[in-house]
Amino acid sequence: MKRLDKLKNKAGEILNRTFDQHINLAVTGLSRSGKTAFITSLVNQLITEGNGSKLSFFDPVHNGNFIAAKRVPQKNLTIPRFDYDKAITSLTNEPPTWPEPTHGISELRLAIRYQPQKSLLKYAADMATLTLDITDYPGEWLLDLPMLKQTYEQWSEQTQALLTASPRMEFSQDFLTKVANIDPFDEADEELLAQLSKEYTDLLYTFRYQLGLSVIQPGRFILPAELAGAPILEFFPFPNLTNIDGNDYQNASDNSFIGMLRARFIEYKEEVVKKFYRQHFLRFDRQIVLADCLTPLNSCSKNGGAEGFADLQLAIDMILESYGYGKSGLFSRLFSPKIDKLLFAATKADHVTGEQHAPMVSLFNELIFQSKHNINFEAIEMKTLAIASVKSTTSGKSHHKGQQFSVIQGYTDQINTNQSSLKSEATPTTREKITVFPGSVPEHLPKPEFWQACAFNFINFLPMSGLKKNQPLPHIRMDQVLQFLLADKMI
């Protein structure tokens, strides 16, 4: 009976793909890029459509053939369900808070009912259903995928180059000195190995959360999920491996320091990275890449501003090279689906004034130029948008010292003392309403003088008050996101 049900499910999936009625969407981005808020908003916009939603640029709604959408049980029962209810509750509580970020992989399935107007389906039924599977996972895990192509020596050499360059160098010297004092061919001391692995993991935390850097390997070290405490996460790069005789290295005992580090690196690739890739990356049809390009602009030259921006660029390149891209025709949909639409989204567009959205898009396009150029060769459809999944500010004009400025107003949890804050209005709670001119977003990758001036004032705003669970969340361009990712399947 189970086998029959499995065959029926498989047949149904093939039929859906045959008639273009199924999408596997990969939501990609590093931590703090807004993945959880994005998925929450995307689901919210669809299931509350008709209840005051503003989806003017989503053709199925604009043309009147969208009927309804609802959450349905996912197919993969071994993967946690994306907790939409918890996320929407965070946004609609009083006071509201941002949903907790992703700590592991999760999925959510939507059934979207519509009236076909142009496809062959209109001759078979009055209504059709598009199934949308959304997969969410920590962006840091994606940075491990390029490791599949590397040996331990190559990975150590690459990581050493990062650790000995600004801004990581200042924090890495003590760790690198300790490792350099180890004889790689001595018998491994597991206690020392665990201690140094922890120090390396602490460095990764510093790079990500103190310096705001993006290239973190292995990503599971800072977001281990079910692997927390497992020995497979206890290894680290060994400096100057190129100075070791090749034959000695290859013949090193598995009980030696270098042999154990190499063995754990290989095991990590096979049992963690490769399994993750096989289970989730071979079935995506569409992809959205979310990136926060604003926060790195806050950094001054002394805080590694230019280096941090370059690090974000490298991280995005590393992520995108791991996906399969190409036109998704009938046979590729059935047997080897590839991503045929790719959307790049510069998030937190509500954190700057409206006229800065075009520069945001221009800046993001320069940041990903090489990746887009390489993917363009596969002739897939790509688009870049500035979005706010959940809008948290209002915009307007303000006069300051005889000049008129475009400003935004929203709530923060701390008093803004920056000189660009034009007005501060205390509330009875810790939420503080401020009106601010955040500065101008550069249209191109910033030059050295930008980092010297420290002219950008990006603020992390809190969600608006008064949001309701059964009403659409305020947003910027989520209708254009839906149009790009879904509309061509609903005609």
Mapped to the 3 state alphabet, what secondary structure does the chain carry? CHHHHHHHHHHHHHHHHHCCCEEEEEEEECCCCCHHHHHHHHHHHHHCCCCCCCCCCCHHHHCCCEEEEEEECCCCCCCCECCHHHHHHHHHCCCCCCCCCCCCCEEEEEEEEECCCCCHHHHCCCCEEEEEEEEECCHHHHCCHHHHHCCHHHHHHHHHHHHCCCCCHHHHHHHHHHHHCCCCCCECCHHHHHHHHHHHHHHHHHHHHHCCCCCCCCHHHCCCHHHCCCHHHCCCCCCCHHHCCHHHHHCCCCCEHHHHHHHHHHHHHHHHHHHHHHHHCCCCCEEEEEECCCHHHHCCHHHCHHHHHHHHHHHHHHHHCCCCECCCCHHHHHHCCCECEEEEEECCHHHCCHHHHHHHHHHHHHHCHHHHHHHHCCCCEEEEEECECCCCEEEEEEEECCEEEEEEEEEECCCCCCCCEEEEEECCCCCEEEEECCCCCCCCCCCHHHHHHCCCCCCCCECCCCCCCCCCCCCECHHHHHHHHHHHHCC
Residue 385 is assigned to a structural domain of this protein: yes
Residue 399 is assigned to a structural domain of this protein: yes
Residues 331 and 478 reside in one and the same domain: yes
Report whether pLDDT(310) > 50.
yes
pLDDT attached to residue 212: 84
Report whether pLDDT(313) > 70.
yes
Tell me the per-residue pLDDT of 75-92, one tens digit each, with 9 for 90 and over.
888 888 999 999 999 999
Give CA–CA dist 74/128, Å, rounded.
19
Range picked from 53-62, 132-141, 328-337, 344-353 for highest mean pLDDT: 344-353
Report whether pLDDT(122) > 60.
no
Residue 113 is assigned to a structural domain of this protein: yes
Domain end, chosen from 276, 300, 323, is at 276
Residue 263 to residues 157, 227, 418, 428, 429, Cα–Cα distance (Å): 17, 17, 51, 57, 54
pLDDT attached to residue 481: 97
Residues 378 and 421 reside in one and the same domain: no
Residue 290 is assigned to a structural domain of this protein: yes
Residue 458 is assigned to a structural domain of this protein: no
Residues 483 and 361 reside in one and the same domain: yes
Report whether pLDDT(404) > 90.
no
Question: Do the beta carbons of residue 96 and residue 465 sit within 8 Å?
Answer: yes
Residue 465 is assigned to a structural domain of this protein: no
Residues 350 and 480 reside in one and the same domain: yes
pLDDT attached to residue 281: 73
How many distinct structural domains can be found in the chain? 3
Cis ω before 116 (30° cut-off from 0): no
Report whether pLDDT(334) > 50.
no
**Percentage, residues of the chain above pLDDT 70:** 85
pLDDT attached to residue 377: 60
Residues 250 and 344 reside in one and the same domain: no
Domain end, chosen from 228, 254, 276, is at 276
Q: CB under 8 Å to 310, separation ≥6 — which residues?
A: none
pLDDT attached to residue 123: 46
Residues 315 and 436 reside in one and the same domain: no
pLDDT attached to residue 488: 92
Residues 106 and 30 reside in one and the same domain: yes
Residues 474 and 370 reside in one and the same domain: yes
Residues 132 and 170 reside in one and the same domain: no
Tell me the mean pLDDT in the region 155-164: 95
Question: Do the beta carbons of residue 292 and residue 33 sit within 8 Å?
Answer: yes
Range picked from 370-374, 403-407, 417-421 for highest mean pLDDT: 403-407
**Average pLDDT over the chain, rounded to an integer:** 84
CATH number at residue 97: 3.40.50.300
pLDDT attached to residue 19: 54
Rounded to 5°, angle at Cα 306 from 304 and 312: 95
Residue 6 is assigned to a structural domain of this protein: no
Residues 165 and 154 reside in one and the same domain: yes
How many of the other CB atoms lie within 10 Å of CB of 484?
Answer: 22
Report whether pLDDT(13) > 60.
no
pLDDT attached to residue 436: 85
- Dihedral angle at the C-alpha atoms of 129, 133, 134, 137, nearest 10 degrees? 180
Q: State the pLDDT confidence band at 328, using cuts at 50, 70 and 90.
A: low
Q: CB under 8 Å to 179, separation ≥6 — which residues?
A: 196, 236, 237, 238, 239
* Nearest residue to 319 via CA among 350, 284, 348, 347: 284
Domain, as residue range, for 153: 149-276
Residue 20 is assigned to a structural domain of this protein: yes
Domain end, chosen from 276, 296, 316, is at 276
Report whether pLDDT(452) > 90.
no
